[in-house]
């Protein structure tokens, strides 16, 4: 029997030669001969390079050429020999596996419902009997305890069974959890009642059995309702909690749901639909209007507007043309285009986001540390308190009532205690908060990052690419007398055509935007560090800085003063001279992002000090800072020194966030208390960052800060509620108020309170789902 | 104080002592991971009310694969968290979920359920 290497999950891994390997889980094999039969058949199928069928693991590992065949054809081949394939393999986070998971979760909830309905129906009459206290004549019969027993048995052994099973499993591991408390509490009430029913003389005293019309009968008090109603109520609580907790991970499910299942790729010159798992890097993918973009890539031809809001939070469609990056799972709106796949499978932005969020949701926030320590000791300690309660009541209560009081309060203490509320307080809020962040294009690395972010005092913004767009653009074209602006731009662009210099490229881009027809330049000459000269249509053109103009003794016609003015605004002016005379100025600047000023002013309103850091000279830096409303500027800082500047700010005793790109600013991001990286294209898993903004907008910083503050606020509410609930509930259930007010808590009320407490914590966390930036944090 | 009360008092104190000893002072089931042909330290962990084994010994710097099989539907154990490694995984019921990482630091680390009630220990040796 041929052996395959170990495969932990269905997977498909494209290898170097573009062949694809896939593991198919097989069904219907009864012997090694079956395996050989499938193997032979698959080996002869077109496009299949190599096959191993392992009978023991029921798996076929097939290496095939995706241009000749696909998974569906392979499955058909297997089915043709009379066997089956369990599921179409996909990414582990992809569709099929997840659907199965969801189905099994739904089945669990249905099961929980059935158990609850049985418990509710059977415990209602038990509760009625218990509360009648002999006032309802119908119940004053000798066999009433037996009737209650009959009604309670199914509740214990069917509805409540998972609690007992769970408690036993935990007990064997020397652990105690929720199930332990419920099992011990209801178990004690049930066992006592069972004894009181079967052998009443063991628990009863002479004062009992004096119900009207039943004098002389021995009928001990029973507490079946404490067992059955508690189970019904706790099951109800579990149902509500399950529903609420399902919603805490909704964001991830929604993200995963964005993944399209198929892609249309060009293979051998034809467009074919293939499952998304079969798309490999380098595939040419075709996308039509209204379709989802299947994987990440770079546009080859065509143009369109793409709705990226589901991943970036940006509501406006983004224009895409050849050379632009497209992100898988976003929706193509207007045009058709072809793109080359650059990232597939686990490497796509969507999968990176899902992974980041999942990882973040497992990171524990330091704020939960106390709750974590407490919940580690909680259950055993509560059991001890309950035992002590029993002992104290047994000794302190009057002899004829001591067993009753001791038992009832013992059960109440066990049942009211709710470690789950403590345990759920932080993780659910972190889960909903980070999930909501992902929906808004803000990826937070975990609870600790959230917690630090809400305490930030100073935000350092990198200039280039963070406050500004990061690429120079023409801002002003000024023509001297006798020249026209359009003509000036056309000439300058002609001279700079093919220029590698960013300033030149900006001029050429502007000319293209204005659809100017460029002429042909002759005698082109680049003057390093100064500018260019060229001859165009018989005219001598000189383009460059003031020094170049001075050297060539160009008559500037008053352009010098205008240039100085532009420079003070943070722009870079370039002189244009035609035939030795100053013809005009073209100013280029790295433009400020349109929403930067608003974001800075919001950050200030949130009480944060905002700084700008840049390698630019003081003048340029000041101009940009003024435009967006930043007062404190750290100019002429070399990239390598940015981290040191952040450190200096931290030495002032401040909690500092650094906002920059993930590559050049990585050391500064890592040094800062919170590093916020602006997403660069399709790479969102930025190592040095605590928070990654998928969209390059500064509003993401505002969102991150507000979301962190809101999440921590919710966590504090949850923790406060959970602590107070247990700190008050347990003593009251133990009966400390009895000597003063005469209050005792019935176990039934205790169970209702318990069920509500964890539901309320989760529900409070779910309020974060409605978080949006507009609200005050 | 009558006889019954004395009996209840004595057994109550004894029971409390037992609870404290049983839950806080017990040693778990210890197991060392085995290094397979692929150079990965692999170990199977069954999740049912707790982790079996619940003390796992691994070597520093060698990739670790812990295969968690959740043998129950109880939601208490639906998540496993390795706080020190920044790892959390949802464990689907009755399925095996691999958790992989490479411990770069020697020492004792705990792994817990999502609520820190069920615990196991990971010992990373030099």
Measured in angstroms, the CA of A210 and the nearest CA of chain B are apart by 24
Q: Does B12 fall in a domain?
A: no
B78 touching chain A per CB within 8 A = no
The CB-side HSE value for A717 (13 A sphere, CA atoms) comes to: 19
Which residues from B are below 8 Å from A170, CB to CB? 49-50, 76, 118
Question: Do B117 and A394 count as a contact with CB atoms less than 8 A apart?
Answer: no
Q: Which site among A101, A161, A169 would you substitute to test the B interface, given the most B Cβ atoms closer than 10 Å to its Cβ?
A: A169
Please name the residue of chain A whose CA is at the shortest distance from the CA of residue B54.
A173
Q: Which residues of A touch B5 (CB under 8 A)?
A: 394-395, 402
* Strand-pair category, B107-113 with B79-82: antiparallel
Question: Which tokens sit at A189?
Answer: 């009430």
Lowest mean pLDDT segment, chosen from A233-242, A340-349, A418-427, A521-530: A521-530
**pLDDT tens-digit series, residues A727-777:** 999 999 999 999 888 888 888 889 999 888 888 999 999 999 999 876 544
d(CA A273, CA A537): 53
Instruction: Show the tokens assigned to A49.
Output: 């390079």
Q: Which of A378, A379, A404, A395 is nearest to A184 (CA)?
A: A379
Give me the percent of chain A exceeding a pLDDT of 70: 90
Q: Which residue in A640, A678, A668 sits closest to A467, CA to CA?
A: A678
Mean pLDDT across A57-74:
78
> Which residues lie across from A56 on neighbouring strands?
none
Distance from the B103 Cα atom to the nearest Cα atom in chain A, whole angstroms: 17
Does A206 score more than 90 pLDDT?
no
Q: What are the chain B neighbours of A168 within 8 Å (beta carbons)?
A: 49
Rg (CA), chain B: 19
Residue A382: pLDDT over 80: yes
Query: Does residue A34 register a pLDDT over 80?
Result: no
What are the residue ranges of helices labelled H in A397-418? Answer: 402-416
CA distances for A282 relative to A300, A301, A324, B27, angstroms:
11, 15, 15, 55
**Interchain contact, B86 vs A446, CB within 8 Å:** yes
Contact assignment for A391 to B73 by CB distance below 8 Å: no
- pLDDT value at residue A205: 56
Separation CA A704–CA B57 (nearest Å): 39
pLDDT average, residue stretch A170-185: 86
Strands (E), A480-613: 521-527, 531-536, 539-544, 572-578, 581-592, 609-613
For position A777, what pLDDT does the model report? 43
Contact A248, A766 (CB under 8 A): yes
Pairing of strands A331-332, A284-287: unpaired
For tokens 């285009």, what's the residue? A337
Count how many Cα atoms sit within 13 Å of the Cα of residue A208 in the half-sphere of its side chain: 19
The number of C-beta contacts closer than 8 angstroms across A and B is 133
Selecting among A462, A616, A661, A673, the annotated active-site residue is A462
Among A70-84, A195-209, A742-756, whose mean pLDDT is lowest?
Answer: A195-209
Distance, CA of A406 to chain centre: 48
Residue A93 has pLDDT above 60, yes or no: no
Residue B88 lies in a domain: yes
Please report residues of B whose CB lies closer than 8 A to that of A237. Answer: none
Q: Does a structural domain hold residue B76?
A: yes
Domain assignment of residue B42, given as a range: 29-125
| pLDDT attached to residue A244 | 84
Confidence of residue B7 (pLDDT cuts 50, 70, 90): very high
Q: Name which of A91-105, A375-389, A733-747, B111-125 the model is least confident about.
A: A91-105
Nearest to B118 among A175, A377, A446 (CB): A175
Is B14 within a domain? Answer: no
Q: Stretch A575-590: mean pLDDT, rounded?
A: 89
Q: Is the pTM of this model over 0.80?
A: no
- The two structure tokens encoding residue A763: 């529900």
- A440-444, A466-470, A710-714, B31-35 — which one is most confidently predicted on average? A710-714
Q: In this complex, is the C-beta atom of B52 within 8 Å of any C-beta atom belonging to chain A? A: yes
Q: Please determine, for residue A530, whether its predicted confidence score (pLDDT) is greater than 50.
A: yes
Chain B residues with CB under 8 Å of A111 CB are 73
Q: Is the pLDDT of residue A326 over 50?
A: yes
Among candidates A523, A480, A462, A368, which has minimal Cα distance to A672? Answer: A462
**Structure confidence at residue A31 as a pLDDT band (50, 70, 90):** low
State the nearest Cα–Cα gap between A467 and chain B, in angstroms.
Answer: 32
Question: Would you say residue A208 has pLDDT above 50?
Answer: no
Reduced to 3 states, what is the DSSP secondary structure of residue A553?
Answer: coil
**Cβ neighbour number for residue B65 with a 10 Å cutoff:** 17
At A87 the pLDDT is: 59
Instruction: Tell if the CB–CB gap between A362 and B2 is shorter than 8 Å.
Output: no
Domain-located, residue B43: yes
Q: Looking at beta carbons, which residues of chain B come within 8 Å of A101?
A: 92
CATH number at residue B95: 2.60.40.420
The highest-confidence range among A1-10, A158-167, A478-487, B88-97, by mean pLDDT, is A158-167
Q: Is A462 a catalytic residue?
A: yes
Q: Which of A12-21, A102-111, A417-426 has the lowest mean pLDDT?
A: A12-21
Residue A400's pLDDT is 82
Of the pLDDT bands very low, low, confident and very high (cuts 50, 70, 90), residue A72 is confident
Q: What is the pLDDT of residues A270-287, one digit of tens each?
A: 888 888 888 888 889 999
* Sequence-ordered strand ranges (E) for A614-698: 632-634, 656-661, 674-678, 691-693
DSSP state of A267: E
Q: Which residue of chain B has the CA closest to A364?
A: B83
Which residues of chain B does A427 touch, with a Cβ-Cβ cutoff of 8 Å? 114-115
pLDDT of residue A216: 47
- Residue A274, Cβ neighbours under 10 Å: how many? 20
| Angstrom distance (rounded) from CA A493 to CA A712 | 54
Check CB contact under 8 Å for B115 and A387: no
Write b or e for each residue in A436-469: b if 16 or more Cβ atoms lie within 10 A of its Cβ, otherwise e.
bbbbbbbbbbbbbbbbbbbebebbbbbbbbbbbb
Is the CB of B48 less than 8 angstroms away from the CB of A359? no
The partner residue sitting opposite A173, judged by closest CB among B2, B5, B50, is B50
Residue B8 is assigned to a structural domain of this protein = no
Retrieve residue A391's tokens: 């002992």
B113 is a domain residue: yes
Q: Is B93 inside any structural domain?
A: yes
Lowest mean pLDDT across A429-433, A525-529, A571-575:
A525-529
Chain B, 11-50: which have a CB under 8 Å from a chain A CB? 12-13, 15-16, 19-20, 22-24, 26, 28, 48-50
CA distance B126 to chain A (A): 26
Nearest CA in chain A to B79: A362
Of A173, A359, A420, the CB nearest to B49: A173
Q: What is the per-residue pLDDT for A456?
A: 95
Asked if A390's CB is within 8 angstroms of B8's CB, the reply is yes
Overall number of domains in chain B: 1
> What pLDDT, on a 0 to 100 scale, did the predictor assign at position A14?
40
With an 8 Å Cβ cutoff, is B97 touching chain A? no
Q: How many Å apart are CA A677 and CA A683, to the nearest integer?
A: 11
| Cα of B125 to nearest chain A Cα, Å | 24
In which band, very low, low, confident or very high, does the pLDDT at A654 lie, cut at 50, 70 and 90?
Answer: very high
What mean pLDDT is reported for chain A?
Answer: 84
CA A577/CA A535 separation, integer angstroms: 12
A532-541 pLDDT per residue, tens: 888 888 888 8
Cross-strand bridge partners of residue A264: A273
Query: Angle between the A349-362 and A250-257 helix axes, to the nearest 10 degrees?
Result: 170
Contact at 8 Å (CB) between A563 and A546?
yes
CA dist A120 and A122 (Å) reads: 6
Task: Mutate one of B7, B49, B77, B89 to test the A interface: name it (highest A CB count within 10 A).
Answer: B49
Integer CA distances (angstroms), A168 to A176, A182, A211, B49, B80, in order: 9, 12, 39, 8, 20
A611, exposed or middle or buried, with CB in 10 Å at 0-12, 13-18, 19+?
Answer: buried
Contact B19 A359 (CB under 8 A): no
Has residue A18 got a pLDDT over 70? no
**Mind telling me how many Å the CA of B120 is from chain A's nearest CA?**
10
CA pair distance A387, A743, nearest whole angstrom: 20
- Would you say residue A97 has pLDDT above 80? no
């Amino acid at each position: 029997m041929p052996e395959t290497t170990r495969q932990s999950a269905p997977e498909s891994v494209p290898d170097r030669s573009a062949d694809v390997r896939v593991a198919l889980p097989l069904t219907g094999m009864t012997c090694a001969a079956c395996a050989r039969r499938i193997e032979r058949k698959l080996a002869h199928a077109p496009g299949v390079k190599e096959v191993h069928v392992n009978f023991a693991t029921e798996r076929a590992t097939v290496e095939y050429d995706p241009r000749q065949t696909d998974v569906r054809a392979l499955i058909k081949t297997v089915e043709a020999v009379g066997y089956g394939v369990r599921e179409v393999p996909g990414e582990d986070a992809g569709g099929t596996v997840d659907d199965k998971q969801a189905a099994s979760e739904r089945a669990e909830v249905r099961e929980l419902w059935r158990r609850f309905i049985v418990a509710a129906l059977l415990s209602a009459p038990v509760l009625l009997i218990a509360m009648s206290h002999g006032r309802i004549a119908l119940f004053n019969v000798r066999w009433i305890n037996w009737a209650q027993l009959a009604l309670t048995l199914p509740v214990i052994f069917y509805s409540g069974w998972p609690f007992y099973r769970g408690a036993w499993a935990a007990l064997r591991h020397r652990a105690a959890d929720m199930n332990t408390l419920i099992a011990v509490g209801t178990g004690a009430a049930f066992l006592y009642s069972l004894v009181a029913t079967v052998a009443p003389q063991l628990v009863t005293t002479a004062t009992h059995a004096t119900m009207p019309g039943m004098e002389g009968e021995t009928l001990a008090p029973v507490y079946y309702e404490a067992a059955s109603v508690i189970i019904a109520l706790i099951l109800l609580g579990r149902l509500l909690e399950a529903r609420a907790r399902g919603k805490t991970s909704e964001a991830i499910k929604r993200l995963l749901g964005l993944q399209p299942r198929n892609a249309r790729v060009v293979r051998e010159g034809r467009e074919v639909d293939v499952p998304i798992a079969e798309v490999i890097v380098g595939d040419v993918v075709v996308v039509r209007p209204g379709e989802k973009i299947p994987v990440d890539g770079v546009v080859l031809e065509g143009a369109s507007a793409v709705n990226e809001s589901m991943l970036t939070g940006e509501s406006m469609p983004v224009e895409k043309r050849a050379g632009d990056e497209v992100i898988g799972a976003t929706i193509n709106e207007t045009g058709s285009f072809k793109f080359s796949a650059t990232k597939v499978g686990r490497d796509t932005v969507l999968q990176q986001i899902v992974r980041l969020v999942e990882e973040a949701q497992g990171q524990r926030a330091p704020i939960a540390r106390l709750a974590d320590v407490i919940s580690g000791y909680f259950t055993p300690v509560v059991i001890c308190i309950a035992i002590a309660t029993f002992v104290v009541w047994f000794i302190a209560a009057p002899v004829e009532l001591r067993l009753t009081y001791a038992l009832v309060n013992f059960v109440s203490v066990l049942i009211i205690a709710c470690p789950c509320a403590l345990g759920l307080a932080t993780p659910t809020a972190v889960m909903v908060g980070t999930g909501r962040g992902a929906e808004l294009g803000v990826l937070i690395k975990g609870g600790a990052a959230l917690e630090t972010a809400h305490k930030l005092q100073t935000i350092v913004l990198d200039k280039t690419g963070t406050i500004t767009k990061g690429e120079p653009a023409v801002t002003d074209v000024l023509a001297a007398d006798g020249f026209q602006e359009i003509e000036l731009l056309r000439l300058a662009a002609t001279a700079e055509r093919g220029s590698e210099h960013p300033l030149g490229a900006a001029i050429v881009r502007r000319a293209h935007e204005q659809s100017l027809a460029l002429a042909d330049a002759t005698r082109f000459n680049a003057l390093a560090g100064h500018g260019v000269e060229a001859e165009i249509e018989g005219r001598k053109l000189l383009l460059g800085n003031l020094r170049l103009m001075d050297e060539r003794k160009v008559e500037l016609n008053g352009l010098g003063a205008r240039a100085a003015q532009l420079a003070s605004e943070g722009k870079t002016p370039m002189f244009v001279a035609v035939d030795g005379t100053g013809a005009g100025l073209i100013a280029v600047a790295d433009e400020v992002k349109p929403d930067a000023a608003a974001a800075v002013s919001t950050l200030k309103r949130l009480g944060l000090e905002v700084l700008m850091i840049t390698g630019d000279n003081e003048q340029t830096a000041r101009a940009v800072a003024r435009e967006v409303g930043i007062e404190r500027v750290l100019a002429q800082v070399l990239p390598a020194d940015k981290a040191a500047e952040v450190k200096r700010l931290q030495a002032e005793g401040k909690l500092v966030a650094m906002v920059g790109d993930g590559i050049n600013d990585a050391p500064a991001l890592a040094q800062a208390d919170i590093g916020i990286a602006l997403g660069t294209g399709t790479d969102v898993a930025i190592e040095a960052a605590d928070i990654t903004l998928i969209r390059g907008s500064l509003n993401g910083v505002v969102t991150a800060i507000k979301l962190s503050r809101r999440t921590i606020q919710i966590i504090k509410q949850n923790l406060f509620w959970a602590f107070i609930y247990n700190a008050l509930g347990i003593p009251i259930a133990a009966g400390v108020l009895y000597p003063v007010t005469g209050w005792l808590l019935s176990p039934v009320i205790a169970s209702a309170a318990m069920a509500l407490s964890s539901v309320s914590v989760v529900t409070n966390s779910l309020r974060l789902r409605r978080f949006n930036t507009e609200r005050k944090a | 104080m009558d006889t019954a009360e004395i009996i209840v008092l004595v057994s109550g104190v004894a029971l409390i002592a037992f609870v404290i000893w049983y839950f806080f002072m017990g040693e778990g089931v210890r197991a060392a991971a085995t290094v397979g042909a692929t150079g990965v330290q692999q170990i199977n962990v069954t999740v049912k009310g707790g982790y079996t084994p619940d003390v796992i010994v691994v070597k520093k710097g060698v990739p670790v694969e812990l295969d968690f099989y959740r043998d129950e539907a109880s939601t208490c154990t639906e998540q496993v968290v390795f706080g020190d490694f920044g790892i959390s995984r949802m464990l689907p019921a009755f399925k095996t979920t691999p958790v992989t990482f490479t411990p770069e630091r020697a020492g004792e680390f705990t792994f817990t359920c999502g609520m820190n009630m069920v615990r196991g220990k990971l010992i990373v040796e030099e």
